[in-house]
Amino acid sequence: MAIQTGDRIPAMELQVMGANGPEKVNTGDLFAGKKVVLFAVPGAFTPGCSKTHLPGYVVHADKIKAKGVDSIICTSVNDVFVMDAWGKAQNAEEIIMLADGLGEFAKALELTQDRTAAQLGIRSQRYAMIVNDGTVELLNVDSQGIDKSSAETILAAL
């Protein structure tokens, strides 16, 4: 069963780009003692993700953080180099670009989608959640579109 409101985020190692290259980060540490907005996209540099989803969080980052959010994290089943390049291309300085290169995080949350027919492999579903000290307070999954997981929807829920 997919992660639900009231569940804890699983602790596992993923990657972010650091000053000297890829760095391992533990999701337990990213969420411990913090209020976090986490959103996932099916793929970096894809049309909906690049034109609407990530840009919404870039534009509204200050408003989201003003509501008491410590971190905004974007994750995707992409490697750390792609996530870093995409974040830079989108001016996402206020957003942690969390690489789930093997899809392990998406699988642990049970929020994957099979896009092998489109030559994309197993990807993350599109979702957004509010996480408080590692516990999911709100989870919005989009089966189509970006309405439920948009920055505007999450901002209104904070």
Strand order in the sheet with 71-76: 21-26, 13-18, 95-99, 71-76, 35-40, 126-132, 135-142
Annotated catalytic residue 74? no
Which one is catalytic: 9, 25, 49, 146?
49
What DSSP designation does 117 have? G
Query: What sign for the dihedral angle of Cα 99, 100, 105, 109?
Result: positive
Token pair for 85: 């390049």
List residues with catalytic annotation: 49
